[in-house]
Amino acid sequence: MEEIVFVTEDKWMIEAGGLLDRVDRQLLCEAAQGGKFRVRVVNIKGMLEAMRDEEPEKFQEYKRGIERQAGSLMTLSFEQCVELSRKGNETLDKFEGIVASMDLGQATQIRHWRVDVCRTWRSVARSAYNSSLFSRAWNPPANQIMGMALCNRAAQVYGEDYRKGPWN
């Protein structure tokens, strides 16, 4: 059976035993195209290493393509850079505002979902959305970036880094 590679940095999407949100499952199902492909979930580093080791010609072609794209990217004006940054920061600021006052009890629940129950970032966001821990101020409920923001703030409460073990 032919293989499709799904790339993510979410530990529980990659490792067996993670509790996936229904959106996570839908994405993997769509990647499999009704069973036509076997889906292998890897992080970016794993994808590049596998491509380099298993398909060196394809890796070199990929590398040349990225280099060509980098050389032909449109130059943005100062105003365009400011506008793109402003739009991205609006969402980030909203999420950081929602989680800024996270208390130890909330952080403990988020840590439990992520570390003990092994929920993906989307699943953490949906669980928090469905609980009474936070306002329902984000959409969709399983917003991956919100899940990352929740885990980041909870990890900070514990003096930990959400991108490292045991969080990821």
For residue 13, name the pLDDT band (cuts at 50, 70, 90): very high
* Cα 74 to Cα 54, 70, 77, 81, distances in angstroms: 33, 9, 10, 12
Angle at Cα 125 formed by Cα 31 and Cα 99, nearest 5°?
Answer: 145
Rounded distance, CA 7 to CA 78, Å? 32
Give, for 83, the enclosing helix (H) or strand (E): helix 78-99
Domain chopping of the chain, boundaries: 3-71, 78-157
Tell me: the pLDDT tens digits for 23-59? 999 999 999 998 999 999 998 888 888 888 988 998 8
Q: Phi, psi (5° rounding) for residue 116? A: -85, -45
Question: Does pTM top 0.95 for this prediction?
Answer: no
Give, for 135, the enclosing helix (H) or strand (E): none
- The whole-number pLDDT of residue 49 equals 86
**Farthest-apart Cα atoms in the chain, separation:** 52
* Cα 24 to Cα 116, 124, 149, distances in angstroms: 19, 12, 18
End-to-end C-alpha distance for the chain, whole angstroms: 30
Rounded distance, CA 100 to CA 113, Å? 19
Mean pLDDT to the nearest integer, 140-150: 91
